[in-house]
Structure 1
Amino acid sequence: MRYWTTRYLITLVIGLVVVAVISVLWIRQTNLENRLNVTKYLAQEIADRFVEEQSGETVPREGVLEYIRERQKILDTELDPIIYIVDSNGRVLSNPFERDPFTSGVFPVGILENENDVQRVKLETGEESYIVKTPIQTEGVTAGWVVVIQSANQLTQMNQEFRLLATLLVSLALIGWATIYVLTRRLSRPIQDVATAARHVQEQDYDFSLPANIKEKEVHELVHSFKEMSGRLQELERLRSELLAGVTHELKTPVTSMTGLIQAVRDDVVSGEEAKEFLDVSLSEANRMKTMVADLLEFNSFVAYSIPVSKDHHNMNTLLKEIIHQWEVANDEEGLILESYLLEEEVDAEVDAMRMQQVLVNLLNNAKQALKGNGTIAVSLYKKDSYILGIDVEDNGGGIAEEEKTLIFERFFRGENKKYDTHGLGLGLPFSKMIARSMDGDLVLKESRPGKTIFTLEFPILKNEE
């Protein structure tokens, strides 16, 4: 918060300084224009009211000083002009303020000859000043001039404006800093909470709370995503614990069984045919343990992309028919019905036949386990669109629990019912999904409810079959 607040404040101050400089320049120029207009107005008033023509000569009236002081009070101006009333030849007729900025004592005729009514000059005293001249008209003839000399510093002086501008900028700085501080604090607090929660997760402590009602969309998404991630990590931690317990149990059971049976044979507890039967059971358990270890090694190798997938062109009707026939021969049970629905047209795809069989056999075995040897399995090959083929493996078993649907493709996950009914490590579906993706396809759970569960294997059709 200190990092961002400091940088926001520096940015705000720089912005306000730029605004202040531009404002000062603009106010100075505006003040100059306004005060020059006031000066023009004073010169015109003097020419109209306080100068008259008598006996062919221009004569100033009395009351110029009183008029100027009255106007200063009304306009609340600090202008202190020098006024000359001169004739057409430049002879000074009147100097009401009795101040002469010209050290030579002679009024410069060049000021009258200049065609500009407003002139900026440097007086003989070295002071920058503005000169405003207004003609005295008598019957259309210029009989003289009213010349007003005003210091440039006085025309651009802005004491009150400076105070107002400074007050405004300081107020904006304080309000801006307070706003930045409040907003930064509002944004940083949930981020700090997430950082604290991350330290809890690092220590495998998932007992923390995060704010829920956050109006800022990005911060809300951050907090929501972290909650989902921590929940996912907590679930994975639970699965890891279950994995250790499951793998330990699955490997310990055959080892214990084998140890007991072999011990009985060695100690002559059994003999003859019974001893041979004990050895057969031990061999079966050893093979089962070997299969589980092989599954682990194969899965880890596949995760590390060390097992290549050899894809080739295959007629999908023929390939699927062979896979279904081989599985049906090995799983010929009285209460189990296997139905297959192939495409009427011949469609080729580029797949690895062995890996395809591995995925489908796993799906068929899972369906058989769900049916517990009594029910119907349907395998359907169809076109999803012009580019994708789909294979649905459907069974009419009890379905997958709602809370387990998002976890079935997790490594080592086994559903509650499956834990006690069958042996295994929970690698079948994750392994099958990885194989499908390695063939540019995918394996998804299409639907599952009591009486109907469908897994869909998708893969692309050959491009020349479009």
Structure 2
Amino acid sequence: MKKERVKLTGTEKSELFAEAVVTIVLLLLLNLSIIILIHLAILQDESLVNGIYFLKKTITFSGNYHLWSWQRIFIIIMGFGDLIVLYWRLIRRYHQMQLRHVISELHYIADGHFDHRISFAVRSDLQRVIDSINSLVDSTVNSINEEKAIEKSKDELITNVSHDIRTPLTSIIGYLGLLKTGNVGPEDQAKYINIAYTKAEQMKSLANDLLEYTTLKSNTTKLNLAPLHIYSMLEQVEAGFELEAEKKGISFDVETRPKNLTIKADPEKLVRVYNNLINNAFKYGTGATKIKLIANLVNKQTVELRVENNGARIPEKSLKKIFERFYRVEGSRNIKTGGTGLGLSITKSVVDLHHGTIRCESNDNWTSFIIRLPLDPSKV
């Protein structure tokens, strides 16, 4: 923001001019009074006159020039003094006017114009006050925006949770109501019980994800760091999804470079990251035939973990929001895919706890979730 000097109003300029005139008049009167008093003192003391005459004759310059008469020297000294006093009076009044402008701007901001900033540039300590006021306003605006975002987030959380709980709960109540009537055959009873059980499992999954999400977001969550052999962990993760992958016609590729790559991490939480990303590939990677689990040592301090699938491409507009809680790429709340919308948000929270980063890249060939983690989070 370009800063400009305080622009004085016509009234203020007149006030400054009047201040200059009054000061000059007072100084002239004071100078005249001093000169008269000195003349009176000299006339009454002859020795003082002789002393001044002696100095004039004694102090000479090159070319036999004598010192000017004492009247001229004294008048010049008084003139310099008058100029200093005049400048001090005018600059003091000008600073007072600047302060009035700052106070006026501050009242304008206090009336609710939080997008306004004081743009004055002054050459005094007042500039530090202006900068402090602008910083305080920025801090206040940020706090207000954060509070609004928190309130909005709470409202969205309540809305989304209510919807995700109500949908399976409505089905459970409906099928249990049919069973309660007793007018349902044995085959339909088993069918309705199975549907009600599946819906109850969905509610349990949502409750567990919510609990884990809020736990990870709290400041009290701590990592249980331990040496973790990446290749062994990835083999175990692959084995856990082997049957489901076979049903979907998906194969796994596991690769680590180097093969004995070991990092310090929380094994339980890092396995949850892989579970979430693989489940995400199963649910949303339409047409996928392969999932790659890759780990590379980037340097002596960082490791890169990649989970890739060759399924459907994620739209560009969704990539920036994909780690937000309850966000679904398909943009619906009907849970057709069975997800709670918290899996990737939980994944990001775990990565953040490890002082790492996660991002998603997607094209027509591969969708890649790329995680960067320090080899030892405790040293970050």
Normalised to the residue count of structure 2, the TM-score between the two structures is 0.67
Say if 1:442 and 1:457, in contact at 8 Å, map to a contact too: yes
Structure 1 Cα separation of the partners of residues 116 and 184 of structure 2: 68
Identify which of 422, 435, 456 aligns with 2:337.
422
1-structure distance, mates of 2:44, 2:350: 104
Q: Distance in 1 between matches of 2:339 and 2:304?
A: 27
**Are 2:89 and 1:170 aligned?**
yes
Percent sequence identity is 19
Q: Superposition pairs for residues 32-431 of structure 1, below 5 Å?
A: 101=45, 130-132=52-54, 134=57, 156=74, 163-179=82-98, 181-182=100-101, 184=102, 188=105, 193=109, 196=112, 210=115, 238-304=152-218, 309-372=223-286, 374-417=288-331, 419-420=333-334, 421-431=336-346
**SS of equivalent to 2:331:** helix
Distance 1:349 1:286, change over 3 A: same
* 2:23 aligned residue: none
| Residue segments in structure 2 that go unaligned for 5+ positions in a row | 1-26, 32-37, 59-66, 122-129
1:430 alignment partner AA:
S
Specify the alignment match of 2:19 in structure 1. none
Is 2:288–2:310's contact at 8 Å kept on the other side of the alignment?
no
Higher Rg: 1
TM-score by length of 1: 0.56
Question: Residue 6 of structure 2 aligns with which residue?
Answer: none
Q: Compute the displacement of 1:295 (Å).
A: 1.9
User: Which amino acid is the alignment partner of residue 170 of structure 1?
Assistant: R
Query: What residue in structure 2 maps to residue 49 of structure 1?
Result: none
Q: Which amino acid aligns with 2:322?
A: I
1:158-196 superposed Cα distances (whole Å, 9 cap, x missing partner)? 6655554443333333444445555x369x46x954872
Secondary structure in 1 matching 2:292:
strand
State whether residues 313 and 366 of structure 2, in contact with CA within 8 Å, keep that contact through their aligned partners in structure 1.
Answer: yes
Deviations 1:3-46 (A, max 9, x none): xxxxxxxxxxxxxxxxxxxxx9xxx9xxxxxxxxxxxxxxxxxx
More strand by share: 1
CA contact (8 A) 2:171 2:196 kept: yes
Whole-angstrom distance in 1 between the partners of 2:166 and 2:286: 25
Distance 1:194 1:445 in 2: 41
Deviation by residue 1:335-373 (Cα, 9 ceiling, x = unmatched): 434333222431222223222211101011112222135
Write the distance in 2 (CA, Å) between the matches of 1:351 and 1:326.
20
Paired with 1:441 and 1:169, the residues of 2 have a C-alpha distance of 58
CA deviation profile, 1:235-283 (whole Å, cap 9, x unmatched): 6655544432321121112211111111111211212232122112212
What is the alpha-carbon distance in structure 1 between the residues aligned to residue 71 and residue 272 of structure 2? Answer: 95
SS in 2 for 1:458: strand
Structure 1: segments with no counterpart, 5+ residues:
1-23, 29-77, 83-98, 103-121, 136-147, 199-209
Relative distance call for 1:132 and 1:412 in structure 2 (3 A) is farther
Number of equivalenced pairs: 322
Assess if the C-alpha contact under 8 Å between 2:287 and 2:311 holds in 1.
Answer: no
Whether the aligned pair in 1 keeps the contact of 2:224 and 2:265 (CA below 8 Å) is: yes
Tell me which residue corresponds to 1:445: 359
Task: Show the counterpart of 1:4.
Answer: none
Q: How far apart in 1 are the matches of 2:137 and 2:366? A: 37
Q: Aligned-pair RMSD on alpha carbons?
A: 4.5
Asked if the contact 1:341/1:380 (under 8 Å) is kept, the reply is: yes
**In structure 2, do the counterparts of structure 1 residues 231 and 333 end up closer, same or farther at CA, with 3 Å as the change threshold?**
farther
Greater RCO structure (CA 8 Å; 6+ sep): 2
- 1:382 positional shift: 0.7
CA–CA distance in 2 between the matches of 1:291 and 1:318? 27
Letter in 1 for 2:181: D
Task: Specify the SS of the correspondent of 2:54.
Answer: strand
Task: State how far apart, in whole Å, the 2-side matches of 1:160 and 1:215 are.
Answer: 34
Aligned equivalents of 1:224 and 1:402: distance in 2?
A: 32
Please name the residue that 1:435 is paired with.
350
CA offsets, 1:94-116, max 9 Å, x none?
Answer: xxxxx8956xxxxxxxxxxxxxx
Return the alpha-carbon distance in structure 2 between the equivalents of residues 222 and 402 of structure 1. 37
Paired AA for residue 91 in structure 2: L
Deviates more, 1:252-261 or 1:364-373: 364-373
Q: 1:197: Cα distance to partner?
A: 5.6
Matching residue's letter, 1:132: F
Matches of 1:323 and 1:81, distance apart in 2: 108
Higher helix fraction (1 or 2) = 2
1:445 partner SS:
strand
How far apart are residue 461 of structure 1 and its match? 2.9
